[in-house]
Every structure is written in structure tokens, then in C-alpha cells.
Amino acid sequence: MDERTYLDWNATAPLRPAARAATVGALDTAGNPSSVHAEGRAARRLVEEARLRVAALVGAEPTNLVFTSGGTEANATALSPSLRAADGRPVEVLLVSAIEHPSVLAGGRFSADAVVPVPVSPDGVLDLGALERQLGALVREGRRALVSLMHANNETGVVQPVAAAAALVHAAGGLLHVDAVQGAGRIACDIKVLGADLLTLSGHKLGGPKGVGALVRRSDAIAWPQPLIKGGGQERGARAGTENVAAIAGFGAAAAAAAHDLAVEGQRLTALRDRLEAALTAEFPQTVVFGREAERLPNTSLFALPGVKAETAVIGLDLAGVAVSSGAACSSGKVAASHVLAAMGAAGNLARGAVRVSLGYSTQEADIERFLAAWRTLAQTLFKDSRGIAA
């Protein structure tokens, strides 16, 4: 059986047909978008059309969107002590939720001792009380915070209380950056409704090409006078380098398609994900679904069956034609304990068994059935073995 079932959409989404067409079409546009001649203007049109489409997905002004090489670069750009709001006051401390993606946890251009984690609940939701206390302490010290909170977690799919956090951050005079790489295109993600000052997006998570993303600001009063990449003044001086026109065009098409399908796909994927979890827990009642009581993305399930190691399960499923991942898959091949599950207080043996199944626009019921059949075979063997060893 050659056919594969791809259930690792949080690692990357297969290219949408519309994104593919836009990318391939743009490859034949000869001009540099900074050139004034007709060829240059044609390339510029593709970039600006994509800017409109991506900005529309998050309710932003197109002029407030800067294209980057991906989510990682957008995060590193946003997390800068040089960030300024209208009042010009500097940000001195970076508060990050303990479950952020490594590209946020690394702290951008803040020194390591200026990066402070904020805890989460056992369900993987930001502890708003802790955030309020940490912000209060900074206010008393007269220091301004930049807070980075993800829209939805890449491992658990748990949606974070971004608007509530924004209210706390702004009441304390701080700024809020939201890594919306996993949420945008899957659930509503309006920069104003979320209350974010800055928002990170990545093309490949919503069905665009890999290697393109964006940093969006809520208003032009927010500026980063020291760009991460300096040079030719592209992107209004906010990010130098000739734009990746083909990838940007594909990103724009993917954003438009994702926005168009958002509500319908959300319902469809929730039903498929719930069917998967119902079957898993019915057949193996010891199964633990992480973050199950919290609001989650429609497409994500992270679970563990005690005694079944995630690496073994992922390899076994791969051999059976099913692609899933063990927790975070950003750097595949790395078998490290998940910092997300550690922050949620999950027991080590359970965390080591965490398997992430994530769905997307082309996932069908047959894919879920195929996964379940493969899991049944695998889990029965591994679970039996683990009990044999333990006995």
C-alpha cells in the first residue's frame, strides 16, 4: 500500500492547490519588486496583492504587515528591546508563557536574564493571575514589559486567553506580541479582537510554501527602529532583502483560501478530531488527552497511552503509512522531553508517550480510520509488552 495518510499538519501543511498555482505563476515573473520598470511593477503587484490577502486574514492594515522568511524570523524581529510604541518608552523585560515555541523562548534580542517565563495551568492555559502579579511587580519597579503569548499551542492545540492577557498587559503599560502561527487560518484571528500589538504568521502552517511568514503590527505607532536584517530598505526599511516573490504570492493565496474555508473547516475538523479521541479513549481507556478540558484548535490532538513510547509509536505508524509526530516536531529526529508538557506538570513517563495527531483541509474520515487501525495494532502490542515488562 503506497498511499500515505498525513496527520502532521501542525509541523507543516501540504501546499494548497491555489497556493501552488500562485507560487508557480510568480516564478515566471522576471522583475525585482523594487525596480521601476514594467517587469518590476509586475512583481510588486504580486507582493502587494499577497499583502492585502494576508492582512485581511488577521484584520490588519496591509501597510502594517512585513513579510519575513517565516515565523521564526518574525518572532525574532518582534522580540527586540528596540521596540517602541507611540510614547517612545523602551521595553525592558520580556515575559513569555512557558509553553511558547522555541523561537520565542530564545528571547529574540533580549539578554537571557531579561526573559521571564509565565506559568500555565495543568490544561496548558496561561495562568492569568500569575501574569497579572508579574506585571504588577514590573509596574512597581517602573519597568515596561513586552509579553509574548501564543494564540494556540503547537503541541496541544490549546487556545490561549489572548484578549484577557492583552487587557492586563495594556493596563500595566506593556506591549503584547502574539505568535499566531498555529491559530491563523484555523480559528478566527483578528489582531484587534485579540488586542495584540504585534502578530506573527507563517505561510507553511496554513498551506502556503515553507520559508515565508509575516510580522503584523496593530498600528503604525509601533515601530522597531533596529530591524533584524538591515540593508536595501525593502519592506519600508523594516526587513531588508529582495522579497521572495513566489513564496509571498503562495502565502497570499493560502491565506485567502484558509479565510474562505475557516468556519466550515473548523466544524468539519472538530468532528473528525472528536471522533478520533472518542475511539481512542473507548478502546484504550487509560489514554490521556492533553488539554482536553480547555478550548483547543479544531485540528489537534495530543495524547498518550501509558507504557507506549512516542518514538516507537511514531516509527510504527510511519511503517504503517501514517505520518504523525511525537510532541513538537520542529526539529524532527530530536527526542527531547516536551517543555510544554513539563510546564503543564505532566508526569515524565506520560510526556514521553505523547503522540500528536494534527489534521487539515484534505483530511478525510478514511484517514482517521486508517490511523485508528494502525494505532490499534501498534498499541495492543506495545501496551501488552509494557505491561509484561512492568509485571
Cβ closer to ligand PLP: 215 or 313? Answer: 215
- Please, which contacts does 344-351 make with residues 24 or more away whose CB atoms are closer than 8 Å? 344/99, 344/120, 344/121, 344/122, 344/123, 344/124, 344/156, 344/290, 344/291, 345/122, 346/122, 346/290, 349/306, 350/288, 350/304, 350/306, 351/304, 351/327
Contact map string, positions 205 to 244, toward ligand PLP, x by CB under 6 A: --------x-------------------------------
Binding range to ligand PLP, per CB under 6 A, among 69-77, 111-119, 137-145, 159-167: 69-77
Q: How many residues bind ligand PLP (CB under 6 A)?
A: 13
- CA–CA gap between residue 238 and residue 381 (Å, rounded): 54
CA–CA separation, 256 and 55 (whole Å) = 10
Nearest distance from C-beta of residue 155 to ligand PLP, angstroms? 9
Q: Does 299 help bind ligand PLP (rule: CB under 6 A)? A: no
Q: List the helix and strand counts (H, then E) for the chain.
A: 12, 12
Q: Alpha-carbon distance 351 to 356, whole Å? A: 11
The CA-based diameter of the chain, rounded to the nearest angstrom, is 76
Among 31, 33, 71, 108, indicate the residue that binds ligand PLP (CB under 6 A). 71
In 3-state terms, what secondary structure has residue 106? coil
Catalytic residue among 42, 56, 330, 372: 330
Residue 103 is a binding residue for ligand PLP (CB under 6 A)? yes
Q: Is residue 182 involved in binding ligand PLP (CB under 6 A)?
A: yes
330 is catalytic: yes
Q: Which of 13, 47, 181, 247 binds ligand PLP (CB under 6 A)?
A: 181
Q: Does 360 bind ligand PLP (CB under 6 A)?
A: no
Could you list the residues that contact ligand PLP (CB under 6 A)? 70-72, 101, 103, 150, 154, 179, 181-182, 202, 213, 330
Please give the positions annotated as active site: 330
